[in-house]
Amino acid sequence: MKIIKPATAGTMESSDVIIRIEPAEKPGLEIHLTSSVMQQFGRQIEEAIRGTLEGLGVEDARVEAVDKGALDCTIKARVSAAAFRAADRNDYDWRVKQ
Amino acid sequence: MRLRRSMMFVPGNNPGMIKDAGIFGADCIMFDLEDSVAMTEKDTARFLVYNALMTLDYGNIEKVVRINDLSSGLGVEDLEAIVRAKPDVIRLPKTENAQDVIDCEVEIERIEREAGIPVGSTGMMAAIETAGGVLNAYEIAHASKRLIGIALGAEDYVTDLKTTRSDDGTELFFARGMILNAARSAGIDALDTVYSDVNNEEGFRREATLIKKMGFSGKSIINPRQIEPLHEIFMPREKDLIKSRAIMEAIREANERGSGVASLNGKMIDRPVVLRARYLLELAGEDPDGEQEQE
């Protein structure tokens, strides 16, 4: 899935995460994370973001994430929504179990 | 019997509320993709509720998802996602007639087949929110075996009637009566509308007492603070429970004797009396067929 424009999903409220995805300046996934639980869960959150993007077939993107203590399922939901918005697509395949 | 005294709406785009929804003791959680979600956030809410249902464990609480109506252009996509996450029930808003229920059921069944989910395992409830819908309540209640209940959505309904909601609910008497009788004739639950003023507990109690007295199974709620008073109002009185236990005990004794006729204190127990006793015990969380403990 090709990222063609900047897009955002999520809010700054507690238990949420705001994800901004934009076209990559260089190949690969570049993830910048700020989190209220960075020390304990920073690596896990980054892996959740990366894993979701890879699952969607996003190879190149720049991601800014501000986490407010979101659960993994919330991270996955916000990344998926932001990626589809940034790819300007709405043909999510619900038949594929993510 | 599945209790549906309290059906709590949870906005579908609020991760904090979705995360905590299971801790308050509501009988059902209704994740909302419709009115509480802005048009610009329909996609994000759908992703969020789908992922929450696939991940979070709400125990025995019934999980309902209110989708957007099919004519909005959003409803089918909501079903594509949500049916695969296997909620207990899909709530269809703005139901006008039996065909609306059938159209939704056709989509649910198609998705169940595609996803390898047992056909018929997704329940449905229909919310009636217009004068036309109220007049069609009977055909709506009988439109599908999947229906577990029909509900009144009063805000849209009173607007359709060109009136507003009042404290005593005069404007809702006809709709409540229609929906209640339609639901009971189909053997399904009748569910009352929300009481929006969460700071007015007295008004909420008055309304909950009224709908319980009418025969409703429960009520939609919008705040966890409304759960406790609602359950308190639906709790049968102790003297009625004592009588109900005695009735069920008499029935058990008659069965053991091989007698088709049971009596209590010299009076024959009729079938409606047994059904009422059974319902009251189930409302109180007791097993009507359970043996009573010996003192």
Nearest Cβ partner of A77 from B16, B47, B80? B47
CA gyration radius, chain A: 12
A10 CB within 8 Å of a chain B CB: yes
Residue A95 belongs to some domain of the structure? no
What are the residues facing A31 on neighbouring strands? A63
Alpha-carbon span B86 to A88, nearest angstrom: 28
- Using a CB-CB distance cutoff of 8 angstroms, which residues of chain B are in contact with residue A78? 44, 47-48
**Does B52 sit within 8 Å of A15, measured CB to CB?**
no
- Using a CB-CB distance cutoff of 8 angstroms, which residues of chain A are in contact with residue B55? 71-73
Q: At residue B218, what are phi and psi to the nearest 5 degrees?
A: 175, -165
- 3-state SS assignment for residue B195: coil
- Using a CB-CB distance cutoff of 8 angstroms, which residues of chain B are in contact with residue A86? none
**Does A71 sit within 8 Å of B15, measured CB to CB?**
yes
The DSSP annotation for B48-64 comes to HHHHHHHH---TTSEEE
What would the two tokens of residue B25 be? 């003791």
pLDDT in tens, chain B (295 residues): 899 999 999 999 999 999 999 999 999 999 999 999 999 999 999 999 999 999 999 999 999 999 999 999 999 999 999 999 999 999 999 999 999 999 999 999 999 999 999 999 999 999 999 999 999 999 999 999 999 999 999 999 999 999 999 989 999 999 999 999 999 999 999 999 999 999 999 999 999 999 999 999 999 999 999 999 999 999 999 999 999 999 999 999 888 888 878 888 888 898 899 999 999 999 998 999 886 554 3
> Å from B37 to nearest chain A CA?
13
Res B295: pLDDT: 38
What would the two tokens of residue B8 be? 């709590």
- Using a CB-CB distance cutoff of 8 angstroms, which residues of chain A are in contact with residue B15? 13, 15-16, 70-71, 74, 77
**Does A80 sit within 8 Å of B47, measured CB to CB?**
yes
Instruction: Check which CATH number belongs to the domain holding A62 and give it.
Output: 3.30.230.10
Alpha-carbon span B229 to B244, nearest angstrom: 23
DSSP class of residue B96? -
CA gyration radius, chain B: 20
Q: At residue B215, what are phi and psi to the nearest 5 degrees?
A: 125, 5
Q: Mention every residue, 6+ apart, whose C-beta is less than 8 A from residue B211.
A: B176, B192, B219
A70 CB within 8 Å of a chain B CB: yes
Res A95: pLDDT: 84
> Å from B108 to nearest chain A CA?
14
> Å from A83 to nearest chain B CA?
11
Residue A97 belongs to some domain of the structure? no
Domains defined along chain B, listed by start: 6-234 (3.20.20.60), 238-283 (no CATH)
Nearest Cβ partner of B48 from A13, A14, A74? A74
Structural domain boundaries, residue A60: 7-86
pLDDT tens-digit readout, A33-66: 999 889 999 999 999 999 999 999 999 999 999 9
What would the two tokens of residue B114 be? 């595609």
pLDDT tens-digit readout, B162-220: 999 998 999 999 999 999 999 999 999 999 999 999 999 999 999 999 999 999 999 99
Domain count, chain A: 1
Nearest Cβ partner of A84 from B43, B50, B114? B43
Residues 134-173 of B with CB under 8 A from A: none
Task: Give the global pTM.
Answer: 0.93
Q: B25: alpha, beta or left, given left = phi > 0 and alpha = psi -120 to 50?
A: left
Q: What separation in angstroms does the CA of B243 have from each of B5, B40, B75, B264, B286?
A: 22, 55, 48, 10, 13
Residue A21 belongs to some domain of the structure? yes
Residue A59 belongs to some domain of the structure? yes
> Å from A7 to nearest chain B CA?
12
B52 CB within 8 Å of a chain A CB: yes
Residue pair A82/A8 in contact by the 8 Å Cβ criterion:
yes
Q: Percent of chain B, pLDDT > 90?
A: 89
In the block, tokens 């009520």 appear at B219
Q: Mention every residue, 6+ apart, whose C-beta is less than 8 A from residue B31.
A: B10, B12, B18, B21, B49, B52, B53, B63, B64, B65, B66, B87
Residue A41 belongs to some domain of the structure? yes
Q: What separation in angstroms does the CA of A54 have from each of A23, B54, B145, B171?
A: 15, 19, 41, 55
- With CA atoms as reference, the chain A residue closest to B16 would be A15
- With CA atoms as reference, the chain A residue closest to B46 would be A77
Residue A98 belongs to some domain of the structure? no
Res B290: pLDDT: 80
- Using a CB-CB distance cutoff of 8 angstroms, which residues of chain A are in contact with residue B52? 73-74, 77
Kind and range of the H or E run holding A7: strand A7-9
Give the residue from B17, B18, B19 with the most A CB atoms within 10 Å of its CB, the best one to mutate.
B19
What would the two tokens of residue B52 be? 């929450």
- With CA atoms as reference, the chain A residue closest to B51 would be A73
Q: Mention every residue, 6+ apart, whose C-beta is less than 8 A from residue A82.
A: A7, A8, A9, A10, A19, A20, A21
